[in-house]
A = this chain, B = another copy of it.
Amino acid sequence: LNGEFDLIARHFAPLAGPEGLGLLDDAAQLAPPLGHDLILTTDANVQGVHFLTDESPDFVARRLLRTNLSDLAAKGARPLGYLLTLALPPEADEAWIAGFAAGLAADQAVYDVALFGGDTVSTSGPLVASIAAVGVAPAGRMLRRSGAKDGDALYVTGTVGDGGFGLDVAQGRLAGLSAAHAAYLESRYRLPEPRVAFGLKLGRSGVATAAADVSDGLVADAGHIAKASGLAAAIEARATPLSAAAAAVLAAAPERLADAMSAGDDYEIVFTAPPEATGVVRALAAETGLPVARIGRVHAGPAGQVAVIGRDGEPLQLGRLGYAHR
């Protein structure tokens, strides 16, 4: 991209919010709303590791933005905007950049965020795209991983396992599904839906004691909450919420339940709340139209230990505890 300042300006300047100053400056200027904290998070994606090598550029962009928004959602933060860095290989031509920018534009409209600034460089290796996302939460009210209390109930939004099975579909490793189920799972992997509205309401409700997004896998991310809170966790396998498509996978291969609970890329929110808050949690689910399942509890025990309880009441052994690709 040497010498292609104009190319970048043409495609990215229209994405800049007022804070981005038309990308004419090397910096963004953000007036933080009174009584709020700034919430900052960053995620990097590498071609061939975090997205398929032949993924279309608009999906690469949208997935990267959405995974960052998922981090903010799990903090109860309202997203404002983001900084973008791109290390582009020679084959990323203007059509690729135009597609990438179009993906960002589409999701900026969906999630009401703007580009604050960025940097574009050249690499001889695989494409590396990184976003630092900026959100706001009421002062001192960010949801953390570390606030769970002994006896709190453990919840998760939506359904889990779809992301991992969707990657299998995209890579041709999962046969025998109906076309509709295969398409659903693949879409859940390629274009996750960060739970922004739910996260915001959860943060404002004040009932959540800890939260995390399900990026490494339900068991691993519940473990992050447990570890940061100095507690152990127990998850009931039969309470794990599954989509119809994931249920179809498990009907044919019941042993893959462990994969559903431990594969990553679901971008749901796993959180804890006191048992007496069940009514509030149900009301949040109803308000947002997003199912929330009570899947277990956290309790005094070895910090970070997660037991998965099978149908017989005995702990299950899980082969792998979440993606390690980071």
**A interface vs B, CB < 8 Å?**
1-3, 5, 19, 21, 24-32, 37-46, 48-50, 71-72, 74-75, 77, 83-87, 89, 116-126, 128, 130, 132, 134, 137, 139-140, 142, 144-146, 212-213, 224, 227-228, 324-326
Contact = CB atoms under 8 A, between A and B. Distances in A.
Nearest to A50: B121
B37 A144 contact: no
A21 B116 contact: no
A227 B30 CA distance: 23
Nearest to A144: B25
Contacts of A29: 37-39, 75, 137, 142
A31 to B, nearest CB: 5
A117 B25 contact: no
Contacts of A124: 48, 125-126
Nearest to A87: B128
B43 A326 contact: no
Closest 9 CB pairs of A and B: A125-B125, A132-B132, A44-B85, A32-B32, A27-B41, A42-B83, A30-B38, A28-B40, A85-B130
A49 B121 contact: yes
B122 A87 contact: no
Nearest to A1: B326
Given A42-B85, A85-B44, A31 B228 contact: no
Contact of A40 (B27, B39, B86): B27
Contacts of A50: 121
B126 A27 contact: no
30 contacts: A1-B326, A5-B324, A24-B144, A24-B224, A25-B145, A25-B146, A26-B41, A26-B74, A27-B71, A27-B72, A27-B75, A28-B39, A29-B75, A29-B137, A40-B116, A40-B117, A41-B117, A43-B85, A44-B86, A44-B119, A46-B87, A46-B123, A83-B132, A87-B128, A119-B326, A121-B325, A122-B325, A123-B128, A124-B125, A125-B128
B228 A44 contact: no
A118 B68 CA distance: 12
A264 to B, nearest CB: 13
A139 B134 CA distance: 18
Contacts of A89: 125
